Structure formats: structure tokens, C-alpha cells
A and B are shown apart, each in its own frame.
Chain A
Amino acid sequence: MPTVTTDAIVLSDLLAEITLRQLPCGGWAALACSAQPAIEPSCYCTLALSSAVSTSRAERAFEFLLQSQNRNGSWPAFAGDDQEGAWVTALAVMTLRDLPAAIPARLKGFEWLMNFAGRESNWLWKWKFRTADRHVRFDPEKFGWPWIPDSVSWVVPTSFALLALKQLPCSCSGFEQAPFRIELGIEMLLDRACPGGGWNAGNGVVYGTPLAPHPDDTAIALLALTDHRQESVVQNGLQYLEHVAADLNAPWSLAWAILALAAHDQDTKLLQQRLACMPDLQAIEDTSTLALALLALDQERALLDLGVK
């Protein structure tokens, strides 16, 4: 059985590896072998680093994120991407939360998120989904956020957008619609759950067949729904995640499960120990997974960063 000391060693190894993978521009690439900085891994790594290591590395990371912002207030998926924006905008505004110099950039990001919606927010698409295209069971009245512009809402981008918008200090000065979008997004998540509990990308039932949930999608949805734990859909999701987490052998899903279960006040000590014991954790090629493992082992701080606790 690993000890707290072991966890501390693992944390320090992971931190060293993340530090090593930081690119000269201050960001991180999705894979260890790549040199193309991407926003998602950069956000997780920045969160993991920001209170743990010397400020110069964290400052470079923040600088990279600030310089990557598109003119329209959004963030691209990776450096060099098109400028119309992507779902990672929600992650970027959360990551920059404690940086006073980032306030204007964050406000622009929030504005963009407020105007970014799934296609089914348009009444004609609602009509299409009600009449001609009914193979996927969902209520098109309840929309959230898509991965990229001009597509429909999905569970993960909606969950991250909800987490980000909940960090808005108030709903005044241009953000009057925020409570409405948050409420609608929550309804959308509740509507898109799998019938047996939990969430996948967002298709609960297709052609009358219930689809299986995924642990990571479920965990991310549960993080966005911490204020709605009385809902039976949330309870079912928690039950599914608790059940599946016990046997998870993939660090990405296990790390998300730890964060979500902790956010819902479940004991995650055994799961953390299992994560810390995984062989060659720091050799994982996917940098986001590496950073998430670190965040899951330091869950209290991570949940604060995500605005969940």
C-alpha cells in the first residue's frame, strides 16, 4: 500500500516531467513527441504548475495563454489554428482566474462564450430535430455549447463552459444572460444523460438503443453539476462513476473520476493511491493526462482552481 510519502514522490516526479515538457513559448504540446503547443494541455499543465513551482515557469505559461487568444475573445485549439474559436476557451478563462493582468482577456473570453451556442439554439434547427431528424433522443429546447462553431451542443464543452461561467463575479454589465445560459446548460446536461446513469459525449439513446456512458465524460459533467446533487440524474451518474472507478486502469479517466467524486464529497483516498501506483506514470505520452494525474493527486487545490469548492 503506498504512503503519503510515495504520493509526494509521485507528485514531484510528475511535476518535474511537466516542467521538462514545457515548450520555449511557455505552452505545452498534446503529446510528448510534439512541438505544436495546444491549449487544452497548456491549461491543465498551467493549473498543475501555478502554485507548485517557481513563478517564472508559471508566468511563461500565463503569457503563452494570453498571447494565444483570438481577436474575437476566444481561444484556438492549438497555436496556428483558425481564429474562429473553440471549446477550450472555457478552460483558458478558468486557468487565468487568479491573474489580475488577465481580467480584460477573461472578460472577452466570457463574452465569446455567452455568444457561443449549439446550433439547436436556432428555432429552425429545433424544428428539424423535432420533425425530420429524430434518431437521437434529446430535447432541442435545451442547448449548451459545441466543440467548435456551427455544430450542436455536447456534454464536455457544455460542462466546461458551465464551470467557467460560474466563475463570473456577477451577471451585470453585458452578462445579464449568463444565469439563463447556465440554467439552460444544466438542463441540457440532465437531458443528455444515459438512461442507465452517467454520460457519454452526449448521445444517450440512438435509434431507440441506450448507449453506454464514459467515465471521463461522466466525471466532467458531474463537476459541472455539483450544485445539483439532489437530482436523480446526478445521483445515477455518481453511482455509475463510483462503480466503474474501482476498476479503471486508464489514468486520464481515473484522474477525472477522482476529481468528480471528491467534488461530490466521496472518499477518493484508495483511488488516489491506485493512480499514484500506476507504473511509468511520468512516461505517459499524453501531456494532458500527466497534468490531470497531478491535479487528481492534489485534488483540493485542483477543485479550487476549477471553482468547484
Chain B
Amino acid sequence: MNLTRRDFLVGSAAVAAGASVSAPFFLPRHHVDRRPKRSRLAILHVEQYSQKIDEILAAGLRLFRIDVRAKRVVIKPNLVDYAPGDAINTHPLLVLAAAESFRRMGAKSVVVAEGPGHQRDTQLVLSQSGYDEYLQEEKIRFVDLNRDELIRTPLCASYTSMKYLWLPRTVLEADFLVSMPKIKTHHWSGVTLSMKNMFGVVPGTRYGWPKNILHWKGIQESILDICATVPVHFVIADGIVAMEGNGPLNGTSRRLCKILLADDPIAADTTSAHLMGLDPGRIVHIREGAKFIGNTAASLIDQVGESVVLPRVSFQVVPEFEHLRGHDSF
């Protein structure tokens, strides 16, 4: 068999891609520094999904100095696919409560926007996950980010070899972008939290279902490039029922009974990882993102609400991410 130069290059890339689960980045590859001087974070205890979430969330948001008056608020939940149970998608009651809160706080507009990564039929996911009914009842607009108008957007970091992405207008024009992840483990990226949740802004009509190009360019690297380019202004993470094991779709539900609020996605994901009993310092996109997106050091995070309690048993992960479990560095 003849080995051409192209084959050699392709093969080298293949080997590199296979070895990229947690390789460190030796040189910074970001062109922005969005780290706030201090970050603020709150952990709220919530037993179950009920109408009371509205009050709990509103009280939690009052712990922050949020000004959304006359702003376009875009809420980005994690709406992947539908299967019975509460462990895959951000619960619609929490999303609804967030939308209501931002409306009450004077937002010019509030839309819920998502581009499901596995299902092409967004309407089917919306109706089967219960979103459709709630959104219609409360007259909250939903934008399918897989099919929104696209704008060629230069990336503000170069962890992947991509110079730009085509990104949805709705997200780019948001004045206040809220990432609302489900707290889950993920078989390709270790965890899927507020940063990984931003994969959903990458449009399927342009990049396909699943958004496979991001996997080929490196998942950790793609997360960093996207989060450098599309700033998340606030995080509301759904950890009332979380997921462990073979996430994001086929893991096991696990009750954490927590909602986490933060004005910094790195602080949010660092703390979520601690709540899962995983070491954020070993999660590549969190560790690297702490250099330019947000704060991971406890001394720079003002924590209100409950304090972090490490679980007695860390979240189960697939074997490739076993090294994330069982830390004691918080």
C-alpha cells in the first residue's frame, strides 16, 4: 500500500484526535480576557420540580446585581432529545421560572433558544419534553437555533483550527445570554455544564446533526473557542435531578437537589464539578477557560446561599474520565 503525503497528514491528525481527552494546552490561544475581578455564585436547595421553583429562583436572582432592563434576554437551555424521566433536558419549569423572572426584572424581550444536537425535529423534542405547552401558555417565543439566520463570526480563540463559525443571529444579538445547563456527565467531554451547553448555538443546518465537526476539531477545544466568542452573562444550572454515567443521553439520573446560579460560567462549572465530586482542575475546558473566561479560585468567588458539600460518592463517569473522580482539593 502506498502512503501518500495526504494519507500521512490525515493519519497524524487521526492519532492526535484519539489522544486528546485531557491533553494540556502549553500556550494560551485566546485573544480576549473576559475574567471578572470577582464572581458571584449561589447554590439553592430545591427538592423537586414544582410551581414553587418560580419563587425560589426569583429569590435566588435577587442575590445578584442583575440589570436586564430594556435588554434582549436569550435563555439557552440544554434540550438534547427526549426520553422518559427528568435527567436529560433542563426542566421546562425551571426555564419558565427564569423567563418569568427576567420579564419581571424589566427585560425588553425574553426568548428561549436552542438547537438540539441529535434530533432534527425540534418541534418533536419541544412537545415531548413538555416545553411546547409551557411556552405557549406563557407566550414565550422559542427560536430554533438550528435554523436561525446565520452570521459568519470570527472566533475569539484558536484552540481549534477553525477561524470562524456561522452562528445564529438571535444569540449574537442577545444583550444578556443565560446558559441553563443540565448538570450531567458526558462520555466525550467528561461533563456537560454551562460551557458545553453552548454547543447548542452551533447550527445543525450548517454543521449537521450531531454537530460532528466540533468533535473532529476537538471537543474541549471547540468549547473554549465557542465560549470565548459567545459570552455567557449568567448561568442557571439545573441540578435538581442530574445525570451520571454514560451521559448526555444514556446515563442514570441522580438527585442533587440543587440549582446553581452564577454570573461567571467558569465559576459555575467549577462549582458544579465539585458538587458532582469531580475535579474541575482536571477538566480541560474549565482549567483552560480559567485563564481568560472566568474565575475558578475560591478566593475570587463570592459565594452566597448554601455552601458546597462534596458528595460521599462521586458521580459515575465512563472509564476515559475516571481520573476526574474522588478529589479533595476544594
Contact = CB atoms under 8 A, between A and B. Distances in A.
A38 B123 contact: no
A102 interface: no
A122 B7 contact: yes
A133 interface: yes
A29 B208 contact: no
Interface of B: 1, 7, 10-11, 14-15, 17-18, 81, 83, 118-124, 127, 144, 147-150, 152, 166, 187, 205-210, 212-213, 216, 246, 249-250, 318
Nearest to A153: B212
A128 B14 contact: yes
A162 to B, nearest CB: 17
8 contacts: A36-B150, A123-B1, A124-B14, A154-B209, A203-B210, A207-B318, A212-B83, A250-B121
B14 A207 contact: no
B208 A151 contact: yes
A30 B83 CA distance: 27
A180 B127 CA distance: 41
B247 to A, nearest CB: 10
Interface of A: 29-31, 34-36, 38, 40, 77-78, 80-81, 86-87, 119, 122-125, 127-128, 132-133, 135, 146-148, 150-152, 154, 156-157, 200-201, 203, 206-207, 209, 211-212, 214-217, 248-253, 284-286, 288-289
B123 A156 contact: no
A257 to B, nearest CB: 11
Nearest to A36: B149
Contacts of A29: 149
A234 B23 CA distance: 42
Contacts of A253: 121, 124
Contacts of B216: 119, 150-151
A72 B167 CA distance: 24
A131 to B, nearest CB: 9
Contacts of A157: 208
Given A124-B11, A124-B14, A151-B216, A206 B208 contact: no
Nearest to A150: B216
A31 B207 contact: no
B208 to A, nearest CB: 3
Given A30-B205, A132-B18, A286 B212 contact: no
Contacts of A124: 7, 10-11, 14
A209 B118 CA distance: 16
A133 B318 contact: no
Given A124-B7, A157-B208, A211-B250, A286 B150 contact: no
A267 B144 CA distance: 32
B123 A251 contact: yes
A152 B121 contact: no
A289 B124 CA distance: 12
B1 to A, nearest CB: 7
B213 A207 contact: no
B121 A252 contact: yes
A216 B123 contact: no
Nearest to A207: B246
B148 A34 contact: yes
Nearest to B119: A214
Contacts of A123: 1, 7
Given A77-B206, A128-B18, 15 more contacts: A30-B147, A35-B149, A78-B150, A87-B208, A125-B10, A128-B11, A146-B212, A148-B213, A156-B120, A200-B118, A201-B120, A207-B250, A248-B124, A286-B123, A286-B144
Best-buried of A34, A150, A151, A248 by chain B (most CB within 10 Å): A151
